[in-house]
Amino acid sequence: MTQPFQPLTARSREESHRAATPLELFFDLCFVVAVAQAGAQLVHAVAENHTGEGIINYAMIFFAIWWAWMNFSWFASAYDNDDVLYRVVTFVQIAGVLILAAGVSRAFEEHDFLVVYLGYVVMRLALATQWLRAAHHATDPAERTMCRRYAGGVVAVQIGWLALLLAPEGARPWVFLVMALAEMAVPLYAEKKKPSSWHPHHIAERYGLFTIIVLGETVAAATVAVKSGVTEHDALGELLPIAAGGLLLVFAAWWIYFVVPAHDRLTSSRQGFLWGYGHYVIFASAAAVGAGLEIAVEQAVGKAHISTLAASASVTIPSAIFLLSVWLLHARYFKVGLAQQLVLPVSALLILLCSFAGHWAVLCAGLVAAATVAVGVTLTSRNPSTRAGAGAAGTG
């Protein structure tokens, strides 16, 4: 039974059977709202031929979503004691996420980040409270210093984000870049002498679950777009290749991401930082695939004011980026021989070339992704040295 108050002390990295909690799963699901809002706004921007502006806004908003999720996930991996106070403070953070999601449309359309900022204030004050609570219960002076550095850094950077509200519109992307770097510097500074006790298996599972959620949102967005196209425009023939190709891309993305034991790469804080930060590209590109499929549907039924090539590229480019980023972050460390190493980079290049296949571009990209999985399975089954490490169901 959950206790009202327990010491918020560090959990052991050696803890066995560490799995995501129902509260963490609930937390992730609430982030789907924000991810969906960001994707919808990207669709609108690209469909109206404001691609450059839309991509910049999407990158900024998705960073805010991803970083808030990151902050909670790594803290929870090290300190989750599941008492009543911990749960209540986490609910406050969830409320902040929903406030942030409510401000996404305004940030895209009017470049007004006030609501997004207020959502962040709620989340970050709750997070700083958690770090201060952990510092209060820490018995190791180095750990206490680390917790206080986290709390102070989170509050300081949050104050710094005021510049995004006050700066001229043209300067905001540069303000964002500086503040994003400041955000990512806080964990490096806080854990300079004493790393937090995050759990490798738990972190790998948390990232895997969020990947599933983002891919699921991609399927949902594409399904709604196809349904709308069929209902309003009676364009089933034009939409079937997009739907089939999109499903193949999502299925292949799932297979490729989960085929290797990601936790095996998380053996140090340095690797943890690189792996954790690099997932911004994986998550953002996976969500962008869903937006791209919506754009391709809208272009096919005549609702998007862009060329077929641009609509195709909105799917193929994020798909290729996803494959390359998964390969760079962890897949390549489990591949033996040149053939296995080249599968994902070559597949990414071929998917990019599919952009020029006209109305069949998405289906061609999906077929390439499916072939990538098939080739990977074949190469893995033929190489005994990788069969045990990556599993008999491995991929390139």
Q: How many separate domains does the chain show?
A: 2
CB atoms within 10 A of CB 122: 18
CA 6, 31, 119, 70 torsion-angle sign: positive
Kindly tell me if the per-residue pLDDT of 389 is higher than 60: no
pLDDT one-digit tens code per residue, 35-46: 888 988 998 888
> Are 41 and 224 contacting, i.e. CB atoms less than 8 angstroms apart?
no
d(CA 258, CA 252): 10
Q: Are residues 162 and 261 in the same domain?
A: no
Averaged pLDDT for residues 82-102: 92
Q: How many CB atoms within 10 Å of residue 346?
A: 16
| 353/208 same-domain check | yes
Model confidence pLDDT, tens digit, residues 144-179: 999 999 999 999 999 999 998 988 888 888 999 999
Q: Give the residue from 204, 189, 197, 102 showing the smallest Cα distance to 150.
A: 189
Percent of the chain with pLDDT over 90: 51
- Mark whether 63 and 161 lie in a shared domain: yes
User: What's the angle, vertex CA 235, arms to CA 233 and CA 241, rounded to 5?
Assistant: 145
The H or E element that residue 101 is part of is helix 84-102
- Pair 278, 265: CB distance under 8 Å: no
Residue 391: per-residue pLDDT? 43
151 & 213 share domain: no
Q: In angstroms, rounded to a whole number, what is the distance separating the alpha carbons of residues 224 and 43?
A: 13
Of 132, 143, 135, 267, the closest CA to residue 194 belongs to: 143
275 and 373 housed in the same domain? yes
Burial status of residue 31 (CB atoms within 10 A of its CB: 0-12, 13-18, 19 or more): buried
Q: Give the tens place of pLDDT for each residue, 179-225.
A: 999 999 999 999 988 888 888 889 989 999 999 989 988 888 778 77
Query: What pLDDT, in 10s, does the model give residues 283-322?
Result: 999 999 999 999 998 888 888 888 999 999 999 999 999 9
For residue 23, give both structure tokens: 């509260």
Weakest-pLDDT range from 15-24, 158-167, 220-229, 342-351: 220-229
Co-location of 313 and 336 in the same domain: yes
Burial call 280-312: b when 16+ CB within 10 Å, e when fewer: bbbbbbbbbbbbbbbbbbbbbbeebebebebbb
Which one of 190, 221, 240 terminates a domain?
190
User: pLDDT grade, residue 333 (50/70/90)?
Assistant: confident
pLDDT of residue 301: 83
> Do 124 and 173 share a structural domain?
yes
* Structural domain contains residue 396: no
Q: How far apart are CA 210 and CA 279, in angstroms?
A: 10
In a domain, 395, yes or no: no
Domain region containing 122: 22-190
